[in-house]
A and B are shown apart, each in its own frame.
Chain A
Amino acid sequence: NAGVTQTPKFQVLKTGQSMTLQCAQDMNHEYMSWYRQDPGMGLRLIHYSVGAGITDQGEVPNGYNVSRSTTEDFPLRLLSAAPSQTSVYFCASSTGTGGSREQYFGPGTRLTVT
């Protein structure tokens, strides 16, 4: 199993540009999430999904959109990039109801917005 994969590894955007961060998992996990990690702030939940077709907002959802059309994929869209969105983004997955819900993380995407 590849586990949780993320692309790209690095990205530089100009203010106002849009882009999609890709996330995929091959463990048939129900739950998937997006976090951002900033110095001194720890990891904060952006959006999460408890199954295909179901998404919900986390702690810091503004400026981001998600959709979950398949169990495997959970892309994160930046609608109009802002310097405040410069961060490292992590995708994660876990089993859902009835499982241990141990969280597995992808390697991250380092995003810089100029």
Chain B
Amino acid sequence: KQEVTQIPAALSVPEGENLVLNCSFTDSAIYNLQWFRQDPGKGLTSLLLIQSSQREQTSGRLNASLDKSSGRSTLYIAASQPGDSATYLCAVRLWGGATNKLIFGTGTLLAVQP
């Protein structure tokens, strides 16, 4: 059974710091991995999508990497800002047939202090 783990559960950093969020998964047979941001009381906003054949994706100050063999993904946030404060979730889409199953980690709550 695929399990997705995110460490740490919570992180507090001063503004301007570079930081890394971690996501690990137990089964490497994934179709893709997606990072989301969730603000309190809101829905999920897609940040980056990495297909299983890719190693990394970049969008602005965000860079996500994928190492399927070790079952790991990282989300790198450069020059953090208070507006980056949110919960960050990673999710893996299972491979195989007409499947639509996304397995989520429990998230990392990020607080960027001004």
Contact = CB atoms under 8 A, between A and B. Distances in A.
B68 interface: no
A58 B104 contact: no
Interface residues of B, number: 24
B49 interface: yes
Given A102-B46, A105-B44, A108-B42, A50 B106 contact: no
Contacts of B102: 33, 35, 43, 45, 92, 103
Interface residues of A, number: 30
B43 A90 contact: yes
A71 interface: no
Given A101-B93, A102-B34, A48 B107 contact: no
A100 B106 contact: no
B100 A94 contact: yes
Interface of B: 31-32, 34, 36, 42-46, 49, 51, 89, 91, 93, 98-107
Interface of A: 31-33, 35, 40-45, 48-50, 54, 56, 58, 90, 92, 94, 96-97, 100-108
